[in-house]
Structure 1
């Protein structure tokens, strides 16, 4: 059944969330990296990397395209699955907001395929990819609010007060 999910904000560590699916702000290689990606791979253990290597050996030989999403096991995380999505690098000269919105939509689509009721998202692309936090929060909240999904709760897990305040401003 499609509905609009409840949206909650948490200041904390996404790797500690007891949810059906955790969304990873991955790089296209799917083989780990820094920030959220590195934290998920470290805490989730080698099972996640092994599953990502299988994806690279089959459907995603050239990597996961920006704006798309794919699921793997969550390994040792307190979740059932990790949904990997590749956010766009922010550009001052090119509007890539559609790709950022696609990360949230595609992740919710994968969550629906999995039957996930609860999904934890980070603030995709707002770290090393340079997306301004306020705009990233606006796109995230608007996209989740307007995407039909069977997910019951979307939890934005925000690492610091700046991110939390930006998301709270767009949620109200």
Structure 2
């Protein structure tokens, strides 16, 4: 599948937030984010695809990590995927309570880990909006707003993440993210 950039927001300090329609396993960035469960068992959805395409080593390294709390992240190698590493971020399941706060914590956790690892570029899916049942519009609003805020806080730094992209599959999810990108663009 060919990926295509759908939207872009330029942020001061030369940082860019983009919306990409495509397969996250094909993104040539420093790190891709896997929307994981707490036990890092990557059987279905995006997580299953990452292990199928990247290789068994991803699951083996995840098994060594063990448990990751909701709102937290862990990192493994990327197997044979084009990215340098995979950040496994555990988002909330709908119905467990405080989902919005937990999703905010999850997106900030993966961005912080990418920053600590020296990543210049990251690709992130719609965390928790698939089998975890988080409403797509709320997911898009939280992820886009938290990421813009995170990147703006790096404004005066010459180092750090320069590109964050949301890599989305599925028309409904893509539309929810497009809406948030349109709302978040600086008015000229």
Q: Is TM > 0.5 for Structure 1 vs Structure 2?
A: yes
Matched, 1:123 2:126: yes
Look up the match of 1:30: 40
Report if the CA contact (8 A) 1:20-1:79 is conserved.
yes
* Structure 1 gap segments, 5+ residues each: 57-62
1:63-101, Cα deviation, whole Å (9 max, x unpaired): 10000011110111110000001110012x833201001
Question: Whose RCO is larger (CA < 8 A, sep 6+)?
Answer: 1
Look up the match of 1:50: 60
Distance 1:4 1:75 in 2: 30
Look up the match of 2:27: 17
Look up the match of 1:70: 74
Of 12-21 and 47-56, the range deviating more from structure 2: 47-56
1:105-144 mapped onto 2 (5 Å cutoff)? 105-144=108-147
Distance 1:113 1:165 in 2: 31
Matched, 1:99 2:109: no
Aligned length: 164
1:15-71, Cα deviation, whole Å (9 max, x unpaired): 111110000001111131210110111111011112112212xxxxxx100000111
Q: 1:167 aligns with which of 160, 165, 177?
A: 177
Structure 1 segments of 4+ aligned residues over 6 angstroms from their partners: none
SS at match of 1:29: coil
Report if the CA contact (8 A) 1:11-1:161 is conserved.
no
Structure of greater Rg: 2
Report if the CA contact (8 A) 1:27-1:33 is conserved.
no
Look up the match of 1:59: none
